[in-house]
Structure 1
């Protein structure tokens, strides 16, 4: 009796192992499927492939490229970032003509992972492939990078990249602080008939300037957009002097005529403008905060501030 039970248990065990193996390695159409893992996302737990190979991202791109992973489709805005131009060959731009065209393109690409910044599209994307929603601004840039790298099993590559970047920032920190001293630094951006100012929470290199190097912004920026949680503020031309630091980084939205600012008496009377302490930046590049862009921004900052060494 016991012998028969043991034989039956042995047969069931083999059968269970066979089913488990089949579930892991075979798909319904008879082809080989991917081993899955559970990840925590901003929409709860999601099952994704352990090693996804056909990835779509509607925003995050430099994070993947920095760990040598190339999505099959990516946001055209990210693809237009000049800092990423050497990495993006072969990536198809996301079709943003309409919501329907986007979904059709995604479905035809047969992705095994979609990473999105757009909560409103999460359910639609989830019907096409496992989808990870990453809320914008919820995590510091480095944590977002680490998280995205973990989705594709590249945690060590991300840590190595971050360590090298941190070494660069730390090695120049004292030098930059000595150059700037008690002077303030601000970020201003010109849009059609609007001026945006921002601190350390809205890209444009603010996290490097204020968080990593500890530089100070004018009080109107420091209080709300560096020490506080406000991401940006739209200000009037008349209010601009209150937000203008001794050093000014300024960008212009593509296609915008900045003359209403740069030709104004208020702009040209600013000490930073009169003293040549302004750094123009290309908005299409600096709107991103992926690790490759941050690395390039750090180089631009270093070159800019070094001009004033000993002055």
Structure 2
């Protein structure tokens, strides 16, 4: 057997020392699990996720969600160029102006957790008026964010689009849409400057089977009429009805007190609403309104003005502008 010399023993020893140093250095560069956990805890999210402050708390959501189910807020998503995979039946049944953009989107009812589950979403967006137990069930399917629904809570539609921009990491898209909307609004105001005089008033109304509503400044056509086009409500409307949440059901006898020079009217035709509208418009009280005599009552399609979110609002501005201009040309 060959003996190992002193020099070979020394060299082997040095080799072991070098190898140990290399291993130690590599170990030093390896991520410390406890340190990583601490960093993630500090930021509050896992890789590929982020925290979003919603009505139902801080929710950990995907940083770049690909399959979104939205019970409401379709117009906000579409304004950002995002098409949901599922949408609530209220939107699909009552949003005529978004029909083309929502073609092929699944109907999840109002709201079926089972149908939502079938779509395998990675994010669910719901209005805060949903019962907490429904939100809890949806949260077991995918991260669920609840927000005030603008048409219900009176929140500003443009800020709603910004909120979705922050949620989805599409802040630039949100600001680009808002800029486009404001430019369209400026053009509309120029077109209507000679049609609606500075001293003339406007307001939004809706006829139901058993109700006659005067809407607040955000409902139906309200946001575009007042915040966007800068029109003025009648004094009685401004005093009693104007602020969000103060929409008022009035009798036909007091309608002249709330009537504007330009009246924008929708009809909820179900449950006898269509018949009530005909009955009201055949009444002498209606026929004697100045707006009726001057042909300044604009009947709008309710399914085009049901929602005031993002793209819905933009399309409504086009409809209002065209409707007013076409009436003035007759």
TM-score, normalization by structure 2 = 0.80
| Corresponding residue pairs, total | 294
SS in 1 for 2:51: strand
Q: Structure 1 pair 190/309, CA: closer, same or farther in 2 (3 Å)?
A: closer
Gaps of 5+ in 1: 25-32
| Per-residue deviation, 1:304 | 2.9
| Per-residue deviation, 1:84 | 0.6
Q: 1:87 — aligned with what?
A: 101
Which one of the candidate residues 159, 174, 181 is aligned to 1:158? 174
Q: Indicate whether 1:111 and 2:112 are aligned.
A: no
Q: Structure 1 pair 12/171, CA: closer, same or farther in 2 (3 Å)?
A: same
| Per-residue deviation, 1:185 | 0.8
| Per-residue deviation, 1:114 | 0.6
Which one of the candidate residues 304, 309, 321 is aligned to 1:290? 309
Instruction: Provide the C-alpha distance between the structure 2 equivalents of 1:149 and 1:71, rounded to a whole number of angstroms.
Output: 15
Q: 1:28 — aligned with what?
A: none
The answer to whether the 8 A contact 2:126-2:146 is kept is yes
Instruction: Provide the C-alpha distance between the structure 2 equivalents of 1:282 and 1:235, rounded to a whole number of angstroms.
Output: 21
| Root-mean-square deviation (Å) | 2.9
Provide, for residues 111-155 of structure 1, a one-character-per-residue CA deviation record: whole Å limited to 9, x for no partner: 111100034232222122111110123631001011113322222
Q: 2:233 — aligned with what?
A: 217
SS in 2 for 1:215: coil
Q: 1:30 — aligned with what?
A: none
Q: Indicate whether 1:68 and 2:68 are aligned.
A: no
Which one of the candidate residues 294, 319, 324 is aligned to 1:300? 319
The answer to whether the 8 A contact 1:41-1:133 is kept is yes
The answer to whether the 8 A contact 2:204-2:221 is kept is no
The answer to whether the 8 A contact 1:177-1:215 is kept is no
Q: Which has the larger radius of gyration?
A: 2
Instruction: Provide the C-alpha distance between the structure 2 equivalents of 1:209 and 1:272, rounded to a whole number of angstroms.
Output: 16
Is the helix fraction higher in 1 or 2?
A: 2
Q: 2:11 — aligned with what?
A: none
Q: 1:190 — aligned with what?
A: 207
Q: Structure 1 pair 34/205, CA: closer, same or farther in 2 (3 Å)?
A: farther
Q: Structure 1 pair 261/138, CA: closer, same or farther in 2 (3 Å)?
A: closer
Instruction: Provide the C-alpha distance between the structure 2 equivalents of 1:159 and 1:79, rounded to a whole number of angstroms.
Output: 26
| Per-residue deviation, 1:87 | 0.7
Q: Structure 1 pair 34/234, CA: closer, same or farther in 2 (3 Å)?
A: farther
Instruction: Provide the C-alpha distance between the structure 2 equivalents of 1:9 and 1:178, rounded to a whole number of angstroms.
Output: 79
Provide, for residues 182-209 of structure 1, a one-character-per-residue CA deviation record: whole Å limited to 9, x for no partner: 111121101112111113122x121121
Gaps of 5+ in 2: 1-16, 41-45
SS in 2 for 1:127: helix
TM-score, normalization by structure 1 = 0.84
Deviating 4+ runs (over 6 angstroms): 3-6
Provide, for residues 51-76 of structure 1, a one-character-per-residue CA deviation record: whole Å limited to 9, x for no partner: 11111111111111222211111012
Which one of the candidate residues 168, 173, 176 is aligned to 2:184? 168
Q: 2:163 — aligned with what?
A: 147
